[in-house]
Structure formats: C-alpha cells, structure tokens
Amino acid sequence: MRRDALFRRWLLAADVVAIVGAFVLTVGLSSRSLQLTWTGIAGLPILLVGAKIAGLYDRDEMLLRKTTLDEAPRLFQLATLCALVAWLAGGLIVNGALDRHEALFLWLALAALLIVARAAARIVALRMAPPERCLFIGDEASAETICSKLTDHCGVKAEVVAQLDLDKAAPWSIDTFSAPRLAEIRDLAQSMDVHRAIIAPGWSEAEPEEILNLVRTLKAVGVRVTVVPRLLEVVGSSVEIDDLHGAKLMGVRRFDLTRSSTAVKRVFDLLGASIGLLAVAPLMIAIAIAIRLDSRGPVFFRQLRVGRHGHRFYMLKFRTMVPQAEAMKDSLRDRNEAREGLFKIAEDPRMTRVGRFLRETALDELPQLLNIVMGEMSLVGPRPLVVDEDRRIEGWNRRRLELMPGMTGPWQILGPARVPLREMVAMDYLYVANWSLWTDVKILLRTVPHVLGRRGL
C-alpha cells in the first residue's frame, strides 16, 4: 500500500543519511588525512540490504504505533557490524585504515545517527500519511479501550471507522464465521477503504480455526490484521516461542526478578540517581530558596506511600501546595478529574505560584532521587500508591509490588490523570512481568519528551 511504501522510503532515506553522515564525520574529524574509497561507497547498498534482511523496513507495516526505540537493539547491531567491518577491512573502505579510536567514534556516530534519523523520518512520514482506517471486530468495551489508545499518543495516526460486535448483534449469533458472513465482512472492509482490522477475539463460541478463517479473509483483500491477545494480558508479552518438532509452544518467563537482575537494576538506579543528584544540585538549591520565599512552610512534602512488598515509606517531593492542603481535600472532591480512587485537579487552588510551575515542569519530583539512593524507590517502576489507593488493589494486581516503586513508569508517559486506577495497576503488573534493563532505559527516554512537553508527572 502507498502508506506503507511512504514509511519504507523515508526509513531508507534516513539510513542512507545516517550511514553516509557517520563516515563523513569520522573522516572529517580525524587528525589524519583519511578518505572514503570507491569500495566503501559501493558497499552502502550491502548495508541497506542487511537492514532489509533484519526486517528494519517491514516492521512498521505490522504495527499501529511506529516507534524507533523498540528497534534500537537491532540498530546497534547494524552499527556494530558496520564499524567492525570498516575497522577490519583495512584500506578497502577508508584510505589509510581506521585506528581503534576512529572505529569507536564511527560506531557511536552510526548508532546515534541511525536512531535520530529514523525517529525524524517516522515523524515526517506520519505527518504526510493519511490516518490509518481501522475496522474493529470485538465487543464495545474493548473497542472503547482501543479507541482511547489511538488518540493523542505519539507514533500513532489511526482511527476506527467501523465496529462489529459479533456477540451482541443478533444476526451474527448463529453461524458467525460462515462463508456468507465472512464475505459480508470482506465487502464491508473494501467498501469503507479499511487499511487494518483490529480483532479482539472474546466470543465465547469462537474456535481458533474460525478466527483464522476471518484473518485469512481480511488479508486476502489486502487488509492488515492486528489481534488483541487475551492470554498475554495475564502472562505479559515476554515469552519465548519453543518449536517442539513442529508444535509451537510458548514459554512464559518467571514473574519475579532473579538476584542478579535485582542487583543490575539496583546498580543502574544508584548510578543514575547519584549522577542526577550531582547534576541538579544547584537547581534543587534554587528551588528550595524559591519555595521558602513564596510561602510559609517546609521545603519538602513527605507523603506516606506503599513500596516494595507492601513496606511503607515517606516519598519526598518539593512542596507545591499551601501547608493546609490535606485539610482542604474533602471540599474539592467534586472537582476531581482522575478516576477510580485517584485524586488530581489540573487547576488545583491549593497550589502556590512556585508550586504550579514545579508541577507543570515535574521539577517537584526531583527529591525522589534521595528516595532512590536510600533504597526506597527506583528510577523506573510501579507507581507508589498512597495507603487509601493501595487498599483498592486486590488479587494478582498486588504482584506489582514485587518491584521497587519508581519515579516514572509506563503510566507516567500517558499522564496519571488520564489513566484509571484499574488500568494503571494492570500496566504496572505487565511491567513487572516483562522487566528488562532496556525497558527501563526506553521508559526513561520516553519520559523526557513527556516532561519537556509540560504534561507533568
């Protein structure tokens, strides 16, 4: 389709710019008189073919959300291979050969430019491409959830143009997946110019073979298919496919972290928090002075939260409200904008002038770096709830407390006021079930534009 071709062309152009730019920078900044050879220039198509084989141009076709961070590990692999070949090839690619420092610079430049160029290419392609027209096949509750995820989120440009609730509609209750019914769905998709079908297979009597026939029918007319997996809502997406002599099995990873993974996460937190405290210490001093000059009361706000394994601790923030804020809370509950037990007001009258700025820029969260150093919090993790909110969490959702609570997490990127408590704890559970160090790095990187966009935390 033209929409998919647009993304492929822009990604191809981005890779060319990144690879050529990395080599030009390496040669130009070298203290020696290096030059690219014709052999090196002729090798560019080979690198692009390697990127094609790695699936770096076809991945976006399968996804609603176009993101560069998720493919960063493969881009690092491509950059590593390219830099290693350029170093080992001697004078074949660069006249004069690269030394170790130049090869290291080439590797870093390649990795950085590939990520930046591809991210920019996707932004341009998303703006140029028309919205992806989606047909949702499933119940109304699932449709409402998916529709809310398609709006106001970076990397997504799609709209649901029609919905089929095969359980609710009487004409579909009998022989739902017969040939005539499948033909009707196919004709509907064609008549409405549907680009993608989103299937939420929640029908009680639907057999896997019938759903497969539905998928085949849609793909036969060029409609891309996305399936909402029910099983993965419980086990998470971190599974390994096991091929048992032709039988496909899913191996589900253990839920809790191993001792080595816990140690790696703790070292990452300590390094990140220590460097962060050193970097922002002057800013924190300036904020403390501004708070004291703006209103009476303490600089820090200490709030009792529930941490790992249910242990309670006092989370630190810069004070953003008047000292009697808690006493005023009951009188403002009718203005609460959050849902399901959370309390948040966009224009909270209890905030001070300095506090409003701190909330908008998320600078009030900086003292939590001290909580991290003290071992009470993590850079990334489940949201630390207040005691009243924690009492509402029951069943398997309490497994979210297996990890240390974090300054940021998957719910932060969406904005906590827009995420109901039930959905937030489910996101936390899946974060714990699928933890990896790279997941933490991605969430931290995605938090940066969220904060710079002044959407607060």
Tens of pLDDT along 222-237? 888 888 776 555 555 5
Q: What percent of the chain has pLDDT over 70?
A: 80
SS3 65: coil
Question: Is it the case that residue 305 has pLDDT exceeding 90?
Answer: yes
Average pLDDT over residues 98-116: 89
Q: Find which of 165-169, 193-197, 313-317 is predicted with most confidence, using mean pLDDT.
A: 313-317
> Tell me, what's the pLDDT at 172?
42
Average pLDDT over residues 120-125: 92
Q: Find which of 28-32, 264-268, 323-327, 443-447 is predicted with most confidence, using mean pLDDT.
A: 264-268
> Tell me, what's the pLDDT at 5?
87
> Tell me, what's the pLDDT at 149?
78
Beta bridge pairs of residue 135 = 162, 197
What letter does residue 316 receive in the DSSP assignment?
E
Cα–Cα distance for residue pair 315/302, rounded to 1 Å = 6
Q: Long-range contacts of range 38-43, CB-CB < 8 Å, 24 or more positions apart?
A: 39/92, 39/93, 40/86, 40/92, 40/93, 40/94, 43/93
Task: Answer with the residue of higher pLDDT: 375 or 399.
Answer: 375
> Tell me, what's the pLDDT at 283?
95
Which class for 433: exposed (0-12), middle (13-18), buried (19 or more C-beta within 10 A)?
A: buried
SS3 301: strand
Task: Answer with the residue of higher pLDDT: 56 or 417.
Answer: 56
pLDDT band, residue 337 (cuts 50/70/90): low
pLDDT band, residue 102 (cuts 50/70/90): confident
Cα–Cα distance for residue pair 38/86, rounded to 1 Å = 13
450 token code pair:
């969220």
Average pLDDT over residues 134-145: 82
Phi, psi of 102 (to 5 degrees): -70, -40
pLDDT band, residue 330 (cuts 50/70/90): low
Residues whose CB falls within 8 Å of the CB of residue 45, separated by 6 or more in sequence, listed in order = none
Question: Is it the case that residue 204 has pLDDT exceeding 50?
Answer: no
> Tell me, what's the pLDDT at 171?
44
Cα–Cα distance for residue pair 341/18, rounded to 1 Å = 48
> Tell me, what's the pLDDT at 277?
95
The answer to whether 175 touches 182, Cβ cutoff 8 Å, is no
pLDDT band, residue 282 (cuts 50/70/90): very high
Question: Is it the case that residue 271 has pLDDT exceeding 70?
Answer: yes
Question: Is it the case that residue 193 has pLDDT exceeding 70?
Answer: yes
Question: Is it the case that residue 320 has pLDDT exceeding 80?
Answer: yes
Average pLDDT over residues 285-290: 94
> Tell me, what's the pLDDT at 215?
80
pLDDT band, residue 81 (cuts 50/70/90): confident
> Tell me, what's the pLDDT at 375?
92
> Tell me, what's the pLDDT at 118?
94
> Tell me, what's the pLDDT at 32?
74
Cα–Cα distance for residue pair 3/20, rounded to 1 Å = 26
pLDDT band, residue 341 (cuts 50/70/90): low
Which stretches of 155-205 are DSSP H helices? 179-191
> Tell me, what's the pLDDT at 15?
92
**273, 262, 368: which is closest to 313 by C-alpha?**
368
pLDDT band, residue 327 (cuts 50/70/90): low
Residues whose CB falls within 8 Å of the CB of residue 103, separated by 6 or more in sequence, listed in order = 83, 84, 86, 87
pLDDT band, residue 52 (cuts 50/70/90): confident
> Tell me, what's the pLDDT at 117?
95
Average pLDDT over residues 7-33: 87
Cα–Cα distance for residue pair 370/270, rounded to 1 Å = 10
Question: Is it the case that residue 160 has pLDDT exceeding 50?
Answer: yes
pLDDT in tens, 399-457: 788 889 999 988 777 655 556 777 777 778 778 777 888 889 989 988 887 777 655 44
> Tell me, what's the pLDDT at 92?
74
Residues whose CB falls within 8 Å of the CB of residue 68, separated by 6 or more in sequence, listed in order = 75, 115, 118, 119, 122
Going across the sheet that includes 158-164, the strands are: 158-164, 132-137, 196-199, 224-227
> Tell me, what's the pLDDT at 51?
84
> Tell me, what's the pLDDT at 1?
67
**141, 130, 80: which is closest to 109 by C-alpha?**
80
Task: Answer with the residue of higher pLDDT: 281 or 231.
Answer: 281
